[in-house]
Structure 1
Amino acid sequence: MQIWVDADACPAVIKDILFRAAERAQVTVTLVANQYLRTPPSRFIKSLQVPSGADVADARIIELAEAGDVVITADIPLAAGVLKKGAFALDPRGGWFSEGTIEERLSMRAMLDQLRGSGVETGGPAPFSPRDGKAFAGELDRMLARHRSGLSAR
């Protein structure tokens, strides 16, 4: 199992949590972005820079992720793509994407995109909070403990 990170929009606090977890659990964490990312020196932490463009990083993560891997992303289409491959998807606020809810989330996203395209102000997500970081860290710790004990990541 390895962890892939949709790093372009990933909060810095989440990256820091992942860096510490990579060392502690000795699990490879790879940040994928269309810009250069500075990472701490570690044999468990890698970065992969992809060309600029819409969804280029997402496509690369979908290509590289394998069954049992974990992808950190808030991007619903990316989560849907990796779930189809048997990988797991965890958003930076600590919520798991699942096969049971991904279609509904894709539909809601499409509806909101359509509303925004017609000029309706739909708002956005709430600002990232310390509570979000704690929720993410808790889910990550549970997932890594399950991995160490030989169970499914989720």
Structure 2
Amino acid sequence: MKILVDADACPKKVLQICMELGRRYAVAVWTVASFNHNIISDYHVVVGDNDQETDIKVLNLSEARDIIITQDWGLAAMVLGKKTRCISPAGREFRNDNIDFLLEERDMKAKLRRSGGKTKGPSKRTGEEDRRFQECLEAILGEGTKAT
């Protein structure tokens, strides 16, 4: 088991929580980001800045029982197929029973934007999201490991 972070757009607080919980539960934390980002991690993989390059690397590195951190719903759908657990930085766990709905929502919003419509962007990150993320990650880690 490892924690694998899609670090291109991951909030710093989420990375910090991953590192702290990874140490506590003796689980390696891997980060993947393009060379445009300055990420400090024990296991950091640098990729180019081509579209989807980070996602492809995360997908290729993921294995059953890993915990993937991403806000990319498409990547979440793919890694779920590899029997991983997947969490958004906001603390929402992507699961097989909710991913289809999320992908349909993403598709509808993309169609709206292509036709000239506007969709609401993400709101400012809150401490509540950090708390939810930490609780979700810790619950998953607690299921598969013992804290040190």
In the superposition, the TM-score normalised over structure 2's length comes to 0.93
2:24 is aligned to: 24
Equivalent pairs counted in the alignment come to 145
After TM superposition, the runs of 4+ consecutive aligned structure 1 residues lying more than 4 A away are none
What SS does the corresponding residue of 2:97 show, helix, strand or coil? helix
1:141 is aligned to: 138
Q: How does 1:89-100 map to 2 (within 5 A)?
A: 89-100=86-97
| Corresponding letter in the other structure for 1:39 | I
1:82 is aligned to: 79
* C-alpha deviation, 1:28, in angstroms: 0.6
Given that 1:82 and 1:89 are in contact with CA atoms closer than 8 Å, whether structure 2 keeps it comes out as yes
| Corresponding letter in the other structure for 2:39 | R
1:152 is aligned to: none
Identity %: 32
What SS does the corresponding residue of 2:131 show, helix, strand or coil? helix
Q: How does 1:109-148 map to 2 (within 5 A)?
A: 109-148=106-145
1:51 is aligned to: 48
Given that 1:34 and 1:51 are in contact with CA atoms closer than 8 Å, whether structure 2 keeps it comes out as yes
In the superposition, the TM-score normalised over structure 1's length comes to 0.89
Gaps of 5+ in 2: none
1:3 is aligned to: 3
Gaps of 5+ in 1: 150-154
Of structures 1 and 2, the one with the larger relative CO (CA 8 A, separation 6+) is 2
Q: Quick one: distance in 2 between partners of 1:141 and 1:99?
A: 20
